[in-house]
A and B are shown apart, each in its own frame.
Chain A
């Protein structure tokens, strides 16, 4: 059941989209790269071009990783949520179907300096 209670109980999500004044949240992480210890939270307008968010906000935060300079953005594999996905860097978050609080994951096979595979 939705919650153990004595009578009907309706929870109100605090992080709902309407609480962000037209912006949305999204999360981005880089598989097998844990120098940034957790997926990163971003707040952006849904009309933001994906490429702009990546260039101006994500890339600076990845610089401390020794693999950062070797990323070939044309070869990065992506997951949106749990589904494999091909991003269009020229289009907006909304047009890319990136929902509020969605998790995007980058994979760069073969590039794993600080966490080598078994």
Chain B
């Protein structure tokens, strides 16, 4: 009689091979160029897709298991947060401005990243890359969903959370992150990987993640904290994918070096400009601050970024072209941008406020060379005007926007913080404006791409808004007197304080 033997279980290595690498095949009735038409036009030379090493070697069944476990834990905490009126634990309602910016500008970016990775997962010619991109596409849509769910409880009680999709599409400060992702998504798959996988998710990721997630921890926002934990292991995979990508491109052929360097230069600068929003959040909007933008830059930009580029030097890579300009801008950008957001707060779906005396003393300490010299005089003057007129300070002069990064051109010359940086190009008879050399260079390199940008301010002067600010607010789903304006006059402030008082007394 034959002995019955149990079937041998597959080893992890065999499992990975069967469920990823062996899913590929060599086409026999269509050419590789027909099936993967986007892998050559960017000019990169790929000789052997099998050199792509997926460091995590994750199979789909393992992926589902880990992610499902995280989802169960995440939603249990979100439920508890809602049941426990967790929103009342935040330091104070000023913190909500940071959350509103996050939901309006960043969460939609996760969804864009999802689309981009799904596309890259189809367009790349190697199965290891395809599987890694497909998993990242799933991660990104999960991040979009979990962020939206984390913040949904705040939508029950506070203003400005109700129309994030429309805000992302139609408002002006949200177009900064939007155009960043649109630029990446409409690039080829290799540039997309460099832009998002490497520049954003490896070089600059901590400058986004730490302020928001640590900011949440410091300010009593358990919902966002738990999102951060839920995303952390995904981000580890993303960073590894990004680094693997750049190494793969550089190792495949020496001719790839100048193309990759050009993308590093471009996407460092576009990423730095998007982080302008984060700088205001760190320095001005968090009631309990984690650290200053300058301190964050010193750790995650200078130290970590410096180490990374020293490491990549063996491939011939040098630090990004506008690194010195960025360094000079760090002590100025949060102040310049916050002054802008404050004066245009009639057009923001979050509240603004003048920093308190304590806030300004903190800013003086953290920015000893710049705050008292350049920015405290402006805040003091605004306070004086408001005392004189009895109304909040508004500048109804709408700003010129940069054709590339789409920020208001409120940043200054690298060597003169009192002079707006004016740059322009002419292309096919039209004038285009930029905030910096970095943005102008990006435009000049591919003008046909950027001339078609939908800039929110010039668009406001066309149909359907036709220059009518009230019509713009309706169209942008911005409730006047509710979502916008001075924090101290806001429903959010009044409600938060009233509910907090109710929860700790017998009124």
Contact B381 A103 (CB under 8 A): no
Number of A residues contacting the other chain (C-beta, 8 Å)? 46
CB B417 to nearest CB in A, in angstroms, measures: 8
Give complex CA distance A41, B381 in Å: 24
Give complex CA distance A27, B395 in Å: 15
> Assuming the A-B contacts A2-B448, A19-B462, are A39 and B381 also in contact, with contact meaning beta carbons closer than 8 angstroms in the complex?
no
Give complex CA distance A10, B41 in Å: 17
Q: Which of B187, B420, B452, B461 contacts A4 (CB 8 A)?
A: B187
CB B85 to nearest CB in A, in angstroms, measures: 38
Residue-wise, chain A 30-60 has the 8 Å CB interface mask toward B (1 for contact) of: 0110111111110100000000000000000
Q: Which of B191, B340, B398, B412 contacts A40 (CB 8 A)?
A: B398
CB B379 to nearest CB in A, in angstroms, measures: 10
CB B451 to nearest CB in A, in angstroms, measures: 4
Contact B378 A114 (CB under 8 A): yes
Contact A103 B424 (CB under 8 A): yes
Give complex CA distance A27, B378 in Å: 23
From A69-77, A84-92, A94-102, the one touching the partner chain is A94-102
Contact A43 B461 (CB under 8 A): yes
> Assuming the A-B contacts A14-B453, A25-B461, A115-B418, are A37 and B399 also in contact, with contact meaning beta carbons closer than 8 angstroms in the complex?
yes
Contact B397 A61 (CB under 8 A): yes
Q: Which of A34, A37, A40, A101 contacts B430 (CB 8 A)?
A: A101
Interface bin, chain B: 35 or more
CB B335 to nearest CB in A, in angstroms, measures: 10
Give complex CA distance A39, B397 in Å: 8
Query: Which residues of B lie under 8 Å from residue A61 when comparing CB positions?
Result: 395-397
Residue-wise, chain B 306-318 has the 8 Å CB interface mask toward A (1 for contact) of: 0000000000000
Within A14-31, which residues are at the interface with B (CB < 8 Å)? Answer: 14-16, 19-20, 23, 25, 27, 29, 31
Q: Which of B374, B410, B424, B462 contacts A38 (CB 8 A)?
A: B410
User: Does B135 interact with chain A (Cβ within 8 Å)?
Assistant: no
CB B107 to nearest CB in A, in angstroms, measures: 26
Contact A27 B433 (CB under 8 A): yes
Of A16, A31, A34, A101, chain B has the most CB atoms within 10 Å of the CB of: A34
Contact A105 B455 (CB under 8 A): no
User: Does A11 interact with chain B (Cβ within 8 Å)?
Assistant: yes
Which chain A residue lies CB-closest to B43?
A4
Query: Which residues of B lie under 8 Å from residue A114 when comparing CB positions?
Result: 377-378, 381
Query: Which residues of A lie under 8 Å from residue B340 when comparing CB positions?
Result: 37-38
User: Does B457 interact with chain A (Cβ within 8 Å)?
Assistant: yes
Contact B400 A103 (CB under 8 A): yes
Query: Which residues of A lie under 8 Å from residue B381 when comparing CB positions?
Result: 35, 64, 66, 114
CB B161 to nearest CB in A, in angstroms, measures: 26
Query: Which residues of B lie under 8 Å from residue A23 when comparing CB positions?
Result: 461
Give complex CA distance A101, B433 in Å: 9
Query: Which residues of B lie under 8 Å from residue A32 when comparing CB positions?
Result: 418-419
User: Does B481 interact with chain A (Cβ within 8 Å)?
Assistant: no
Which chain A residue lies CB-closest to B344?
A37
Give complex CA distance A10, B462 in Å: 22
Which chain B residue lies CB-closest to A116?
B418
Which chain B residue lies CB-closest to A19?
B462
User: Does B215 interact with chain A (Cβ within 8 Å)?
Assistant: no
Contact A64 B431 (CB under 8 A): no
Query: Which residues of A lie under 8 Å from residue B419 when comparing CB positions?
Result: 31-32
User: Does B38 interact with chain A (Cβ within 8 Å)?
Assistant: yes
Query: Which residues of B lie under 8 Å from residue A105 when comparing CB positions?
Result: 422
Contact A39 B447 (CB under 8 A): no
User: Does B37 interact with chain A (Cβ within 8 Å)?
Assistant: yes
Contact A29 B420 (CB under 8 A): yes
Contact A99 B431 (CB under 8 A): yes
Contact A20 B446 (CB under 8 A): no
Contact A39 B343 (CB under 8 A): no
Contact A4 B42 (CB under 8 A): yes
Contact B42 A11 (CB under 8 A): no
Query: Which residues of A lie under 8 Å from residue B382 when comparing CB positions?
Result: 35
Residue-wise, chain B 453-479 has the 8 Å CB interface mask toward A (1 for contact) of: 111011101100001000000000000
Contact B431 A100 (CB under 8 A): yes
Give complex CA distance A9, B449 in Å: 9
Of A5, A37, A40, chain B has the most CB atoms within 10 Å of the CB of: A37
Within B331-346, which residues are at the interface with A (CB < 8 Å)? Answer: 336, 339-340, 343-344
Give complex CA distance A69, B208 in Å: 43
Which chain B residue lies CB-closest to A6?
B41
CB B463 to nearest CB in A, in angstroms, measures: 8
Query: Which residues of A lie under 8 Å from residue B462 when comparing CB positions?
Result: 19-20
Q: Which of B393, B396, B420, B431 contacts A34 (CB 8 A)?
A: B420
Within B19-62, which residues are at the interface with A (CB < 8 Å)? Answer: 37-38, 41-43
Which chain A residue lies CB-closest to B394?
A64
Q: Can you show 16 pairs from A to B with CB atoms below 8 A apart? A: A2-B446, A10-B448, A13-B452, A14-B453, A14-B459, A16-B430, A20-B462, A29-B400, A31-B420, A35-B381, A37-B399, A40-B397, A61-B396, A100-B430, A100-B431, A101-B431
- By a beta-carbon cutoff of 8 Å, the part of chain B in contact with chain A is 37-38, 41-43, 187-188, 191, 336, 339-340, 343-344, 374, 377-378, 381-382, 385, 393, 395-400, 408-410, 412, 418-420, 422, 424, 428, 430-433, 446-455, 457-459, 461-462, 467
- By a beta-carbon cutoff of 8 Å, the part of chain A in contact with chain B is 1-6, 9-16, 19-20, 23, 25, 27, 29, 31-32, 34-41, 43, 61, 64, 66, 81-82, 99-103, 105, 112, 114-115, 117
* A-B pairs with lowest CB-CB distance, top 6: A40-B397, A38-B399, A37-B340, A3-B448, A2-B448, A11-B452
